[in-house]
Structure 1
Amino acid sequence: MAALAVACTVVACSPVSNDEGGAKSGEDQAAGQDNFGTPADPAAVKKGGKLVIALSAEPDALDPTLSRSLYSRYVFQAICQKLYDVNEQAQVVPQLATALPSTSSDGRTVTIPLRQGARFADGTPFDSAAVKATLQRHLTNARSARKSELGPVETVDTPDANTVVIHLKQPFAPLVGALADRAGMIMSPKALQSLGDNFANAPVCVGPFKFAKRVPQNSIDVVRDPNFYDASKVNFDAISWHILSDASIRAANLRSGDAQVADSISTQDYAALRGDSSLTVLQSQSLGYQGLTFNIGNVDGVGTPPKPINRPIAQNAKVRQAFEYALDRKALVQAVFNGLFAPACSPISPASPFSSEQAQTCVPHDPAKAKQLLSEAGAQTPYPVAMLISNTPDSLRLAQALQAMVKDGGFDLKINPVEYSSLLDEQDRGNFELLQLGWSGRIDPDANITNFVGTGGSQNVSGYSNPQLDTVLTQARQSNDLEERKKLYGQAVAILQQDDALIYLYRQRNLTAVSQKIQGLQVFPDGVIRAAFAGFTK
């Protein structure tokens, strides 16, 4: 067996930032520089206490098979370890596996060695049978959000308790990246057997903490798990996530000491929080994007075959292209986010090794061209569009800026704000015309594209289907050659910009404020708050 080419040459050893070193102290951190945080010094932190994190939105189902939101990944990081993780340089590293996978010469057989002696929170052993049960559930559950992430997995074998062998129908370059996210979170077979589709009510995995309780729309609590294989490195007795959708309230809780961490701080609060000597602001460039998704075929719900929708904006790409020409991305990020975020025109980050000039091609702001395309499409002007968006203050400011901006291009944008959890439900059901939502991003571009725009993708809420795009994405999935994949993703971006089912708008920075009373909390480019091994300063 040879070392898996993708794991090192493409995924595991590919940084996504030109910023070397990464972590810097709050004192010497300049605006816009990455600061991932640093691991805790065991001699400088004390055991015990409860960490309170002010969270900007409620996580969806705490079930690795079903979950779709970034916020559930914060909780999973504490309770559900994965076969692989990513480090601050966005490189894949083993977690419940003991080494990067090896693969056969034809790229279709992948072997993963597993950690020995680990136990789930319910005391049952972690082994190859548990990995197989989890992967099979991801592949067969009717509501699975992981199926398309795992691509052409055909069978899973368990030659012994400490080895898993995955057989693929064809080579699949993104597999390791997928196993470094929710697809690689291994669930207790005992809990799966007893809870079934209600696993999220009492999730059981391998982790530093274990699930304690959830109060919907309010909080999620976890407590230290004595079964964890590295329990001596865990400092907190408990972690509690408090759902506070208003960024100003999160900041107030941080200043008052009611919370020690606040995620997704507003760019409006950034300067003040960064200037507060009692706080540190961790920041990094997101691997993902924020975008605008049109419903062009999601009639019966995500995952069902696309059906025609009797709206010009769904039927005619020229109307959607007109909307993109009406957008001024640079002006938008400057006005709404004080220039802290960056315009985005594709799902490929400019810092990614998979980026290319073609992948970064951007449609210019041209309101006259927008009106011309509306005229060519025979659409009325102003053309009315209803947009579903989260009801947070920052999202509403974005919506209002978009509303004013696209008016010059011939659009009348109506804003429909809803709670984040409702937004996820409505998008899945197809109850929208246009919605604003983003993706926190993954290290392999396939995970930022195929699931959302590939035919039948488990998060293709647009109902978009283009066989030409599917062919290009499949070729990219099967190639281990970096240059070939770069070329193919450039072609994919060109197709996406012609069809405009999803318009990429801007790329966030991950902004997390942390009390100086806490050491060891980290946030990497994947956007996940890593609090499991942090602690209170002595």
Structure 2
Amino acid sequence: MLKNGTRGHASRKWAGGAGLVALAMIVTGCVPLQYPEAQGARTDVTEAANAGQAVRDGGDLVMALSSEPDKLDPTTSTSLYTRFVMNAMCEKLYDIDASGEIVPQLATALPEISADGLRVTIPVRTGATFSDGTPFSAQAVRATFDRNLTLEGSGRKTELGPIERVSAPDAETVVVEYSTPFAPLTAALADRAGMILSPTAIADDTTAFADNPSCVGAFKFVERIPQTSITLEKDPNYYAADEVHLDTITYRIMGDANIRAANLRSGDVHVADAISPQDADALLLERDIEVLQTGSLGYQGLTINIGNTNGTGEPVVQREGPLASDPRVRQALTMSIDREALVNSVFNNWYDPACSGISPNSPFATAASNDCAEFDPAGARALLEEAGVDIPLTVGLKVANSPDALRYSQALQASVREGGFNLRIEPVEYSTLLDMQKQGKFDLMQIGWSGRIDPHGNLATFMTTGAGNNDGGYNSAEMDDLLTRAAQLSDIDERAELYGQAVELAHRDNPLIYTYRQRNITAHSVDLAGVSTFTDGVVRLSRAGFVADKD
């Protein structure tokens, strides 16, 4: 069992932006330099070591992406890799910085929240232009909010909470009105829900937004070659174009970690994401390569399809089969997983076991959220026998066909066999895996989440009935009530108590079994400056450039 955590902080108010900043500073840390004597240490390095050096204008940067992004539409996308691309071309109302602080981006200040928590006023910048030439304004923000709340298949509706009305009283002000207070809003607007889309593009019925996306950003969309690459070019309309150095960014899809590392060493790519722990220690010793690494706010785990028969967000229908219908069987599965042994053996001790959607470093962490089922294969078998299940119970496991994911699934297969399970591993290409997840075409799926600084983004969107990421079709009135009440509170301690109760309920029902929390490991050539990666898992390239005194 993982060591239970306690909270020693004083009671604090989750009062809009100020509360978010306080939270974010606690959650994350920043170590800007990678010192030779620290090689091999698991120390956060968020920014390129040569930050501050002169950077030349021009150049074509190539980044190796470990998986193909899904649709380039912030309203519907679910992939971390889509966020990489979108980060360069779709700015948000807010962002997080290297220290985890919430900072304005298209907004000009943190939100002003009324005393009753029902009215949120957001000031937005002037003088910005979308890549298609449409002027940015508060009306564009309102149009994006409306789309996020009403578009079929939107993954953002739950993230935005119980909004009653969004208005733009003038070009520089957005007002969001709620039926009940909703504390996580600013955190949501620092991610996809806060990416503002061109109203001209979203009104165009002849072209899907994902096929020709238009936002305010340092770069604009050029082309996408499916399963091969996505290319962006510098946007001359960008309000801070003088801060952008590169001519183009090309994201090449390279699913094999060994191939990404080899292309980085050869110079064929300049940046590579999701470096495998199998390669990380060796890359730390390379003179021409720098490794960035941060802890993660997210997790990897197993999603169990309990009631998703018609697609995510559709009315749930209880599925048949012991894993879907009997919580004792799901409890037996989590008891069959030796989390610590698996991460140490498969990932060279780079990653940590995980047992909930709340990071132990979060101020929302409690003894309840840090608690974990003990590895108890004998107890697991006893539960299966009590449930009347024939042993071994065979279950199909959908998993991405990347080497790390396959290596972990094979080790997991061996681990749970002792507890009475026979996992049938079914490798699937990552973008196809995401489609199957949304369509409910799985029994058990190994997949993760890059994480958000507010627990609402890690829990409610996955376990609230009908939520945009509730891909397992979990349906619990008790869980809905806990997560709804937690989002209405401003006090961190009070919210943490409710989230702890939600985790305890999740540990009883096990709609999602958490397995490990990875580090975000990115590598880049040393002749680059301005590359950064934060605890949200996103690699940022919009201000990257080649150092002036190097070829």
- Distance of aligned partners of 1:51 and 1:213 in 2 relative to their CA distance in 1, 3 Å threshold: same
Deviating more after overlay: 286-295 vs 25-34:
25-34
- Distance of aligned partners of 1:47 and 1:110 in 2 relative to their CA distance in 1, 3 Å threshold: same
Answering whether residue 146 of structure 2 is matched by residue 140 of structure 1, we say no
Please tell me whether the aligned partners of residues 114 and 162 of structure 1 are also in contact (alpha carbons under 8 angstroms).
yes
Query: What amino acid is the match of 2:84?
Result: Y
Deviation at 1:416, TM superposition (A): 0.2
- Distance of aligned partners of 1:43 and 1:308 in 2 relative to their CA distance in 1, 3 Å threshold: closer
Deviation at 1:522, TM superposition (A): 0.3
Query: What amino acid is the match of 1:333?
Result: V
**Map of 2:433 onto structure 1:** 423
Query: What amino acid is the match of 1:74?
Result: F
**Matching of residues 173-252 of structure 1 within 5 Å:** 173-195=183-205, 198-252=208-262
Please tell me whether the aligned partners of residues 222 and 240 of structure 1 are also in contact (alpha carbons under 8 angstroms).
yes
> Structure 2: how far apart are the matches of 1:19 and 1:421?
30
Deviation at 1:8, TM superposition (A): 3.9
**Map of 2:264 onto structure 1:** 254
Please tell me whether the aligned partners of residues 52 and 259 of structure 1 are also in contact (alpha carbons under 8 angstroms).
yes
Deviation at 1:463, TM superposition (A): 0.5
- Structure 1 vs Structure 2: percent identity of aligned residues? 51
**Map of 1:151 onto structure 2:** 161
- Distance of aligned partners of 1:19 and 1:210 in 2 relative to their CA distance in 1, 3 Å threshold: closer
- Distance of aligned partners of 1:312 and 1:249 in 2 relative to their CA distance in 1, 3 Å threshold: same
> For 2:174, which of 164, 171, 177 is the aligned residue?
164
Query: What amino acid is the match of 1:535?
Result: G
**Map of 2:135 onto structure 1:** 125
Please tell me whether the aligned partners of residues 40 and 533 of structure 1 are also in contact (alpha carbons under 8 angstroms).
no
Query: What amino acid is the match of 1:240?
Result: T
**Matching of residues 321-360 of structure 1 within 5 Å:** 321-360=331-370
> Structure 2: how far apart are the matches of 1:209 and 1:351?
34
Please tell me whether the aligned partners of residues 83 and 186 of structure 1 are also in contact (alpha carbons under 8 angstroms).
yes
Query: What amino acid is the match of 1:25?
Result: Q
Query: What amino acid is the match of 1:153?
Result: I
Answering whether residue 473 of structure 2 is matched by residue 463 of structure 1, we say yes
Deviation at 1:13, TM superposition (A): 2.0
- Distance of aligned partners of 1:110 and 1:28 in 2 relative to their CA distance in 1, 3 Å threshold: farther
Deviations 1:235-257 (A, max 9, x none): 00000000000000000110110
> Structure 2: how far apart are the matches of 1:328 and 1:295?
22
Deviation at 1:128, TM superposition (A): 0.6
Deviating more after overlay: 283-292 vs 9-18:
9-18
Deviation at 1:51, TM superposition (A): 0.5
> Structure 2: how far apart are the matches of 1:40 and 1:106?
47
Answering whether residue 32 of structure 2 is matched by residue 23 of structure 1, we say yes
Deviation at 1:21, TM superposition (A): 4.2
Deviation at 1:29, TM superposition (A): 4.0
SS of equivalent residue, structure 1 residue 207:
coil
Deviation at 1:444, TM superposition (A): 0.3
Deviation at 1:23, TM superposition (A): 1.8
Please tell me whether the aligned partners of residues 51 and 259 of structure 1 are also in contact (alpha carbons under 8 angstroms).
yes
Please tell me whether the aligned partners of residues 15 and 353 of structure 1 are also in contact (alpha carbons under 8 angstroms).
no
Deviation at 1:7, TM superposition (A): 2.7
> Structure 2: how far apart are the matches of 1:154 and 1:38?
43
SS of equivalent residue, structure 1 residue 203:
coil
**Map of 2:15 onto structure 1:** 6
Query: What amino acid is the match of 2:432?
Result: S
Normalising by structure 1, we get a TM-score of: 0.97
**Matching of residues 369-448 of structure 1 within 5 Å:** 369-448=379-458
Please tell me whether the aligned partners of residues 87 and 540 of structure 2 are also in contact (alpha carbons under 8 angstroms).
yes
> For 1:295, which of 275, 287, 305 is the aligned residue?
305
Please tell me whether the aligned partners of residues 396 and 417 of structure 1 are also in contact (alpha carbons under 8 angstroms).
yes
**Matching of residues 255-270 of structure 1 within 5 Å:** 255-270=265-280
Please tell me whether the aligned partners of residues 93 and 189 of structure 2 are also in contact (alpha carbons under 8 angstroms).
yes
Runs of 4+ in 1 over 6 A off after TM superposition: none
Answering whether residue 539 of structure 2 is matched by residue 537 of structure 1, we say no
> Structure 1: how far apart are the matches of 2:258 and 2:83?
23
Q: Structure 2 regions of 5+ residues with no counterpart?
A: 1-12
- Distance of aligned partners of 1:237 and 1:111 in 2 relative to their CA distance in 1, 3 Å threshold: same
Deviations 1:3-27 (A, max 9, x none): x953345322213667754222353
Answering whether residue 62 of structure 2 is matched by residue 52 of structure 1, we say yes
> Structure 2: how far apart are the matches of 1:151 and 1:531?
31
SS of equivalent residue, structure 1 residue 46:
coil
SS of equivalent residue, structure 2 residue 143:
helix
Answering whether residue 510 of structure 2 is matched by residue 500 of structure 1, we say yes
SS of equivalent residue, structure 1 residue 323:
helix
> Structure 2: how far apart are the matches of 1:59 and 1:34?
26
- Distance of aligned partners of 1:39 and 1:6 in 2 relative to their CA distance in 1, 3 Å threshold: farther
> Structure 2: how far apart are the matches of 1:46 and 1:143?
42
> Structure 1: how far apart are the matches of 2:455 and 2:531?
27
Deviation at 1:42, TM superposition (A): 6.2
- Distance of aligned partners of 1:204 and 1:327 in 2 relative to their CA distance in 1, 3 Å threshold: same
> Structure 2: how far apart are the matches of 1:297 and 1:62?
28
Deviation at 1:388, TM superposition (A): 0.2
> Structure 2: how far apart are the matches of 1:376 and 1:9?
51
Would you say how many aligned residue pairs link Structure 1 and Structure 2?
A: 535
> Structure 2: how far apart are the matches of 1:167 and 1:385?
46
Deviations 1:437-463 (A, max 9, x none): 000001101000111111011110101
SS of equivalent residue, structure 1 residue 111:
strand
SS of equivalent residue, structure 1 residue 375:
helix
SS of equivalent residue, structure 2 residue 546:
strand
Query: What amino acid is the match of 1:181?
Result: D
> For 1:282, which of 253, 274, 292 is the aligned residue?
292
Please tell me whether the aligned partners of residues 291 and 505 of structure 1 are also in contact (alpha carbons under 8 angstroms).
yes
Query: What amino acid is the match of 2:282?
Result: A
Deviation at 1:39, TM superposition (A): 8.7
> Structure 2: how far apart are the matches of 1:262 and 1:178?
27
> Structure 2: how far apart are the matches of 1:113 and 1:371?
58
Please tell me whether the aligned partners of residues 29 and 44 of structure 2 are also in contact (alpha carbons under 8 angstroms).
no
Q: Structure 1 regions of 5+ residues with no counterpart?
A: none
SS of equivalent residue, structure 2 residue 186:
helix
